[in-house]
Amino acid sequence: MSSELLPIFPLPNVVLFPNVFLPLHIFEPRYREMIADAVKGDRMIGMVLLRPGWQGDYEGRPPVYPVGCSGLITHVDTLADGRSNIVLRGVERFRIVEEDDRLSYRRARVETMPEVPSRGDDLDVIRTQRAKLDALLSPALERSLTDIGGERKIPASMADEDLVHALAQYLDLEPLEKQALLEKRSLRSRAESLVELLEMKILMAKTPGSSSVAH
């Protein structure tokens, strides 16, 4: 991917994870153009998170976090007024090397960020974290899982990587929390961080005067 320019779609509150589906509504002219061009090509765009303070230069090219996730456009529903609804499937993480500013929308030369391979002891830790996730998910959090597969518990058949990424994507976490999870170098560290994050939120929810973003 590093030899090609990837269209990038910066948003202030969206983080995409590999092998997870993300619906988006496209209405700005520059991003309508981006989607039209992508559909004519390989149907790939990259999702990146805007850094805090983006409001002052949103119409321009405000700074973004360098680590994002590419997505394949699997569905496009173009509306009569030119807006569209699309669905992305996360493909792989990347790091921005440099940006190109020749078009109305942003493009970047990126390098892929492969996962650090899991060793035998990593797999044991990941399975332990999976069991913790199953135990941690409160009924309120479980309701969020209906968006994944309509089940009130973690599907046993779901691969560890898919589960961690689906929870990171679909649970109501802060964008910066999701970004931190995306930037973890391995599935083990991502799973451990997700468990720690949920433990903290559940503890805060039980503490008088505290609030949790999970609902």
pTM of the model: 0.84
Q: What is the pLDDT of residue 93?
A: 97
Per-domain residue ranges of the chain:
5-112, 120-206
For the ranges 10-14, 48-52, 136-140, the lowest mean pLDDT is seen at 136-140
> What pLDDT is recorded for position 27?
95
- pLDDT for 213 equals 43
5-112: CATH, from 3.40.390.30, 3.90.230.10, 2.30.130.40, 2.40.110.10: 2.30.130.40
Across residues 128-155, what is the average pLDDT?
63
Find which of 88-92, 151-155, 199-203 is predicted with most confidence, using mean pLDDT: 88-92
Long-range interactions of 104-108: CB distance < 8 A, separation 24+:
104/29, 104/30, 104/33, 105/7, 105/8, 105/9, 105/30, 105/31, 105/33, 105/34, 106/7, 106/8, 106/9, 106/10, 106/61, 107/5, 107/6, 107/7, 107/8, 108/5, 108/6, 108/8, 108/46
31-35, 143-147, 195-199: least confidently modelled range = 143-147
Question: Among 49-63, 119-133, 137-151, 185-199, which stretch is predicted with the lowest mean pLDDT?
Answer: 137-151
Q: What is the pLDDT of residue 71?
A: 98
Average the pLDDT over 131-137 and give the result.
79
> Residue 214 above 50 pLDDT?
no
CB atoms within 10 A of CB 33: 15
Q: What is the pLDDT of residues 71-114, one digit of tens each?
A: 999 999 999 998 999 999 999 999 999 999 999 999 999 999 99
Q: Kindly indicate the confidence band of residue 142, based on its pLDDT and cuts at 50, 70 and 90.
A: low
pLDDT in tens, 1-25: 445 899 999 999 999 999 999 999 9
Confidence of residue 154 (pLDDT cuts 50, 70, 90): low
